[in-house]
Amino acid sequence: MKKLVITYSHSGSCRFVAEKMAEAMGADLVEIKPKKELKGVLAYIVGGFQAIHKKTPEILPLGKDPKDYDLIVIGTPVWASNFAPPIRTFLVNAGLKGKKIALFCCYGGQAGKTFDEMKKLLEGNEIVGEIGFKLPLKQKEENEKKAKEFAKAL
């Protein structure tokens, strides 16, 4: 079974979790990059606005085709109680159908409606798991273990 972990990470939290998952399950790893990377406080203001209003900013080519994989793990930071706009762009454009998909999110407060909103764009796929990580870089050891256990169980 071909496995892919795909994430967007502004602060490095989701990248940390994605790397641990990919390592644990022997998966390829792709990080989504927006064409125009927002920096500093502007990232949170504009990013939060985009998340609330379901905007789809342009992203760079992924380098791998998710349609070539059987199991795809998708990870996002939580912005304004929703998933990050670059992940929305990916989900809207990827055309995924008939895949096994697991979801993870990284947050400081709570996951909000992140998974419910992602699932709306993933209809026609089998969601095989979902998990949230609170402050992954502040509780590294605990979250690394949690990420690896989740990934191995998929």
Q: What is the DSSP string of 86-120?
A: HHHHHHHHH---S-EEEEEEEESS--TTHHHHHHH
Residues in the chain: 154
Closest by CA position to 103, among listed 85, 93, 91: 91
pTM above 0.85, yes or no: yes
40 has pLDDT over 90:
no
State the amino acid at position 6 in one-letter form: I
Q: 18 pLDDT exceeds 80?
A: yes
What's the CATH code of the domain at 69? 3.40.50.360
**What confidence tens digit (pLDDT) does each residue in 96-142 have?**
999 999 999 999 988 989 999 999 999 999 999 999 999 999 999 99
Helical H segments across the chain, by residue range? 13-25, 40-52, 85-94, 114-120, 140-153
Q: Report which DSSP code applies to 67.
A: G
pLDDT tens digits along 43-67: 777 666 677 768 778 989 999 999 9
Q: What is the pLDDT of residues 78-89, one digit of tens each?
A: 988 889 999 999
> Tokens in use for 14?
């989701």
Total number of domains constituting the chain: 1
Domain limits for position 29: 3-153
Instruction: Tell me how far the alpha carbon of residue 51 is from its chain's centroid.
Output: 14
Kind of pairing, strands 82-83 and 71-79? Answer: antiparallel
